[in-house]
Amino acid sequence: MKKLSIIALAIFLLVSFTTVAFAASEDLATEAAGRTLLIDKVKLDSIVGTPGFNNEGAENLFDNDPATKFCTNQFPAEVTWELDGAYVVDAVIICTANDNAQYMGRNPDPWKLYGSNDGSNYTLIHEGSASDLEDVNFTYFLININNDTAYSHYKLEIPAAEAADVMQISEFILVQKDGAVEAPAETPAEEPAAEEPAEAPAEQPQVIAPATSDFATVASFAALALAGVVGTIASKKRSK
């Protein structure tokens, strides 16, 4: 009986470990487990990505629909997008696509997430691999990330697929770090900088204006001087 109990316990532990190691769900709310998702913070018109197959472009990663996917055979695949403010991201949720179980090896391997606050200079936040996912369909995987910096711009870089000529995922969701709300502090700080160039052109007409009045002044003096000369000549002619 003791042997049976030990075997049963071993099986239970093995199943538990497997469940924890490959925690995933076909339901986003279950996989997110109360975390704050930044789906509605994505500026949809900011999305720029490597072309995908027909109707399978990078914009499909941000539509909160696992039935639409980003599917491409162009590598390295790259996607950049902007949020409506700067947020600290400490996890992402990636969802597999409609036929990963049939076409195995299409998960990204590796995948690299970068952050930026100017859309030009990017910092590597995390590098993941195909081991974060499985060859299953329509399944959300939460991947924790070690990051404490708020970024407003993000870039996903996928050098290759795990074991196929085609890479595909259906959703790429940023997860905000609990208690980190830095967006309001970042956004106002950027606005004055953007206004500075607008003021510079306004000063140019002011520089030109004195030159015009100087010309008018010189012209006035010249006219007065000419009038004086003419007057002098006229008076001299009258005196003769």
Question: What are the φ/ψ torsions at residue 131 (nearest 5 degrees)?
Answer: -70, -10
Binders of Ca ion among residues 199 to 228 (CB under 5 A) are: none
Question: Which segment (33-41, 62-70, 73-81, 113-121) binds Ca ion by CB under 5 A?
Answer: 62-70
Check whether the bond before 192 is cis (ω within 30° of 0).
no
170 binds Ca ion (CB under 5 A): yes
Question: Which lies closer to Ca ion via its Cβ, residue 28 or residue 104?
Answer: 28
Q: Which of 27, 43, 65, 118 binds Ca ion (CB under 5 A)?
A: 65
**Least gap, CB of 67 to Ca ion (angstroms):** 7
**Least gap, CB of 103 to Ca ion (angstroms):** 17
**Least gap, CB of 116 to Ca ion (angstroms):** 23
68 binds Ca ion (CB under 5 A): yes
Question: Which segment (46-54, 141-149, 169-177, 215-223) binds Ca ion by CB under 5 A?
Answer: 169-177
**Least gap, CB of 24 to Ca ion (angstroms):** 17
Q: Which of 50, 60, 107, 152 binds Ca ion (CB under 5 A)?
A: 60
127 binds Ca ion (CB under 5 A): no
**Least gap, CB of 42 to Ca ion (angstroms):** 12
Question: Which segment (2-10, 52-60, 111-119, 145-153) binds Ca ion by CB under 5 A?
Answer: 52-60
| DSSP string over the chain | -HHHHHHHHHHHHHHHHHHHHT--BSSHHHHHTT-EE-GGGEEEEEEEE---STT--GGGGGSS-TTS-EEE--SSEEEEEEEEEEEEEEEEEEE--TTTTTSTT-SBSSEEEEEESSSSS-EEEEEE-GGGS-S-SS-EEEEE-----EEEEEEEEE--BSSSS-EEESEEEEEEPTT---HHHHHHHHHHHHHHHHHHHHHHHHHHHHHHHHHHHHHHHHHHHHHHHHHHHHHHHHH-
Structure tokens, 215: 């010309």
Give the CB-nearest residue to Ca ion: 68
- CA of residue 63 relative to chain centroid, distance: 15
Residues 131-160: x where in contact with Ca ion by CB under 5 A, - otherwise, as a string? ------------------------------
**Which residues lie near Ca ion (CB under 5 A)?**
60, 63, 65, 68, 170-171
